[in-house]
Every structure is written in C-alpha cells, then in structure tokens.
Amino acid sequence: QYVQDLGNSVVDALLEQLRALGPQPSPQAKAEILSDPTFVQKLIDMHDRFKTIVAECFQSDGLFQKSLKEAFETFINRDLGRFSIAAMMSSFCDRVLRKGGEKRSEEQVDALMSKLVDLFSFLTDKDVFAEIYRNQLAKRLLYDTSASDEAEKNVIQKLKMKCGAQFTSKLEGMITDISLASDMQKQFREYLSHRDSQADYGNIDFSVTVLTTGFWPTYHPIDSVVLPMPMTRCLNVFTDFYNGRTQHRKLSWIHTLGQAVVGARFGARKHDLNCSTLQV
C-alpha cells in the first residue's frame, strides 16, 4: 500500500508540473507557435528528467514507469484547442533536421530525436503527426534543405521501431525515390551523351526527380501551363528517355514543385534569378 501511495504521488506531481508547462492563450499566430521549439524542448527535458528519477531512485520499478507513462499520456493528449501537440512535435523535428538551424553534431541530433520519439510514443494522434511529418519531409527532400540524409533515415528507423513498418512505409519510399533519382539522373546524362543534346534544348542544365505517387503528398498537375519552348523540349527528351526504360508507368509533370535559375543581365551586371517553374 505504501509503494502504491508513492506511485500515486508521482502521478500527481507529474500532472501538476505538466499543467504548468501547458501552452497558455497567446496572441501569436499559429505559424509562430509551431516554429517555436521551446514548448517541445521543455517536454523532452521534463520527460528525460522524470525518467532518470524513476530509473535512479526507484530502480525502474514497473509501478513508477506506469505512473510516468500515464502522466505524459494525460497531458500530451489533452485538447489544446487551436494548438496541436502532433503539429508541434513534427515542426520541432523539421527545425532540427533542416539546414540552417541550430548547429548540432550527428550524435546530438540522434540523441535528441531518440528523446522526441520516446515522447511521440505517448501521442494518440500518431496519424496526424505522420501526415504533417510527411509533408515537411517532402519539402526537405525536394528542395534539398535536409541537413543530413543519414539523420532523416535514422528518425524514420526510430519511428518504425515504435510503430511498425506500415507506419513508415511511405516515408521510406520517399527516401528511396530521392536515392533512385540521383542514379536516374546519371543514366539520363549518359543517354544525352549519345545524342545531340544541344539541338534538343541548348545550354539548359536540366534535371528531373521522379516520384512514386503513392508515397508522396498529393500534388495536382496543372495542364494549362505553357512552358517556354526550350523547357518543353527538355520535358520531351526526358519523356522519351523514361518511356524507353519502362512501359508500365506514366509521367505527370508537377510544375508547382519545379525550380529554375535564370541568368539575367541588367546593363553590365549579370544576375542569377531563382524562380519557380511557373514564374519562368
């Protein structure tokens, strides 16, 4: 009975501190809240601290582990109105895994993501997290803003160990697509070396990333886009190359994801203009 009372006291203490960490009504816009890592970092630190207490002071006794689990499940799955813990967690991952963020070693990133995934295991809205994470991962991969391919794979592996292969199958498929795209681009260059590429599309440096529809977020092609003739020739050349490799897949061009660097001259000065495909 004494041990059980102690366990209940741990639950009460945890819940009291967790309530103090809960987000308060704020005039900040939702985008600003999601980009602020402070809240999730406090949760990680708090879980880490209490997990250490349970391990060192109570020898990881099952009753205290159960109390810790119930306390965090109670808080993390509480209705926070316009705030979503799932979105906050995913945005925290995005901030850590993107280029240009806080400088961390690979070991530090791996340790931080392990703690985040431990916290994620308490979340009931795992599917919400997965969808948000998939959209953010897609942007990191397609726009080359991921700080480390290895870190991306490690996070997916941690999620897979927690939730199973089905949960991460699309994420793994996205990583595979990007890896295959690099190999395909090399084969495309080899293909061009055997034909008069200058006649096809001049001096344009052209590359394509082929995505598997089922893995990625839904992107809708815009059929009404009229591209400049040199770019249209580029698409036709790649289509011929791709159709020669497979007869069972059809390419759909998603111009909203395309990027281009256009050389421009203003007077005597040269500039590179970073544009979307639609802007070109």
Predicted local confidence at residue 23, as pLDDT? 46
Residues 178-209 have pLDDT tens digits of 999 989 999 988 888 777 655 555 677 888 99
- Asked if pLDDT for residue 272 goes beyond 60, the answer is yes
Q: What domains appear along the chain, each with residue ranges and CATH number?
A: 1-163 (1.20.1310.10), 182-276 (3.30.230.130)
* 211: confidence class by pLDDT, cuts 50, 70, 90: very high
Predicted local confidence at residue 29, as pLDDT? 53
Please state the rounded mean pLDDT for residues 240-245.
88
* 2: confidence class by pLDDT, cuts 50, 70, 90: very low
Predicted local confidence at residue 273, as pLDDT? 83
* 215: confidence class by pLDDT, cuts 50, 70, 90: very high
Secondary structure (DSSP) of the chain = -HHHHHHHHHHHHHHHHHHHHSPPP-SS-HHHHHH--HHHHHHHHHHHHHHHHHHHHSTT-HHHHHHHHHHHHHHHTS--TT--HHHHHHHHHHHHHBTTSS---HHHHHHHHHHHHHHHTT-S-HHHHHHHHHHHHHHHHHTT-BS-HHHHHHHHHHHHHHH-HHHHHHHHHHHHHHHHHHHHHHHHHHHHHTTTHHHHHTT---------TTTSPP----TT----HHHHHHHHHHHHHHHTT-SS------GGG-EEEEEEEETTEEEEEEEETTT-
